[in-house]
Structure 1
């Protein structure tokens, strides 16, 4: 496991360095009443790298203008970030091809907008979602349960925006650590403390978990969906708080010049992409986790977990 980057451990304002990811699509209706039709919308997630605060935005479509307006709404409410980290586009969301090609097709206009606002866009290497574990965990916490609690319900854009905001409040109220070491202090530190200086609390509402949807108004159905999300998410979050063991030893033994096999998710049958390691890129702790590989189609940058070293003649004889 590598060292945490400076953006994770240096105290500063919330949302100064953020991770960005998209999720979806979600099916909604364009308006209430008879004659409505189904359309798509998407979830845009911003996560603060320092304090794990989460900001959720509903996006109507995958266009450059829609994303820039989403970014403007985020800046207007949370302040302008100095750095935005994101996936590389080719694996933006593996299940949705339109999400995967969105950033790739609009890199130049997004860079122009960001540079005008003194924002740096930084992309992690391709096919390495574990490099963006912070925002991937946020997408899992939000999207995994939102899709399940919505089910076959078709909300309007205003309703799903409200739901995303309520989900954001739930995620920002999660306990991170004790607020003090006093044995009589039962309060915990949450991302909400860094946003408003105190815990986020919801106004009391009637429990609707056992109510039938046929007898509920649209707002009550939305409240029931939020309560259902809370029940599912809190069970998963408690289980994730248990100790996890991962990447405790350095198993990579690549050297410059080694022939490797590139692990590609969408490679056609019998097409093995081979290459030779051109350069190993080390982190602040001196351990290499990314390499530049020369292939017959040029030089590509890949994480070591996506490279499989071919045994040499000496290793085969030994």
Structure 2
């Protein structure tokens, strides 16, 4: 709940038994939790058949009784948010929105097999969990991500060539999945960096970047799960004393960028209340 790490699980149908099987897979991978928060069935309102089935499943008293008794046997408390209050689940809904917004855009009208879809969701989870939360000097990469709290180190992906220029009809069985992953990365990570660069109206002042600040550099054509981390070496203020550009030091050299192309990372030594998430 603090780091907003995301785990995507693909299921074949919307039944209580399949739900419990997915939960067992989650616990086997991530470990047993003490408490689970979830939506209430009445929060799912829509015309689509899948949403109606989900609503019927979660609002079923039999489903609630079976899940509650199964979790209670393992010492897990299941907490349902109140009916008609979807904003109570905003913490996890904002993270799931990262996927729901861009996944249909990259898959389009393609029909994926179960194995293809499961592979794509697993890679998308890794991409989202690789995002930097804050700067720290205690790790090799000088930043903490949700992956550090899951596996103790940053998540990486297998290098693949850029497939964006190849027509979809010429892509192989697995190449099409990697092309979808690259498309998701390009759309999502640019949007994520934009949320870190929000400029409030001039009635509220924003602190200038200062020397030794650690920043994320907004670059195009970067591979999935690749984040450009740099340190501010020099600032270039204007006549109004507002910094317009900065000189950066990266692991490969030095560069100068306008402040519109950087986002300052918070330090882990400051009060950390969740850091940047998926909004």
Equivalent position to 1:71, from 7, 23, 26: 23
Equivalent position to 2:147, from 185, 188, 192: 192
Equivalent position to 2:85, from 103, 120, 128: 128
Deviation string 1:202-257 (CA, Å, 9 cap, x unpaired) is 12111101110111111000110000000111122122234599xxxxxxxxxxxx
Output the CA distance in 2 between the equivalents of 1:104 and 1:244.
42
Q: How many residues align?
A: 195
Q: How does 1:204-243 map to 2 (within 5 A)?
A: 204-242=159-197
Output the CA distance in 2 between the equivalents of 1:201 and 1:70.
25
TM-score w.r.t. length of structure 1: 0.58
User: Which structure 1 segments of 5+ residues have no match?
Assistant: 1-48, 246-318
SS in 2 for 1:80: coil
Q: Report which of the two structures shows the higher radius of gyration computed on alpha carbons.
A: 1
Deviation string 1:122-153 (CA, Å, 9 cap, x unpaired) is 11122222211121011100121111111101
Bigger helix fraction: 2
Bigger strand fraction: 1
SS in 2 for 1:237: helix
Give the structure, 1 or 2, with the largest relative contact order (CA under 8 Å, sep 6 or more): 2
With over 3 angstroms needed to count, the CA separation of the structure-2 counterparts of 1:125 and 1:241, relative to structure 1, is farther
SS in 2 for 1:53: coil
**How far apart are residue 53 of structure 1 and its match?**
1.6
Instruction: Tell me which moved more, 64-73 or 99-108.
Output: 99-108
User: Which structure 2 segments of 5+ residues have no match?
Assistant: 201-279
Output the CA distance in 2 between the equivalents of 1:113 and 1:189.
35
Which residue is equivalent to 1:202? Answer: 157
TM-score w.r.t. length of structure 2: 0.66
**How far apart are residue 94 of structure 1 and its match?**
4.5
**How far apart are residue 180 of structure 1 and its match?**
3.4
Do 1:94 and 1:100's aligned partners in 2 also have CA atoms closer than 8 Å? Answer: no
Do 2:3 and 2:133's aligned partners in 1 also have CA atoms closer than 8 Å? Answer: no
SS in 1 for 2:78: strand
Do 1:179 and 1:187's aligned partners in 2 also have CA atoms closer than 8 Å? Answer: yes
SS in 1 for 2:116: helix
Deviation string 1:21-76 (CA, Å, 9 cap, x unpaired) is xxxxxxxxxxxxxxxxxxxxxxxxxxxx1332211110111000110000000011
The CA RMSD measured in Å over matched residues stands at 2.1
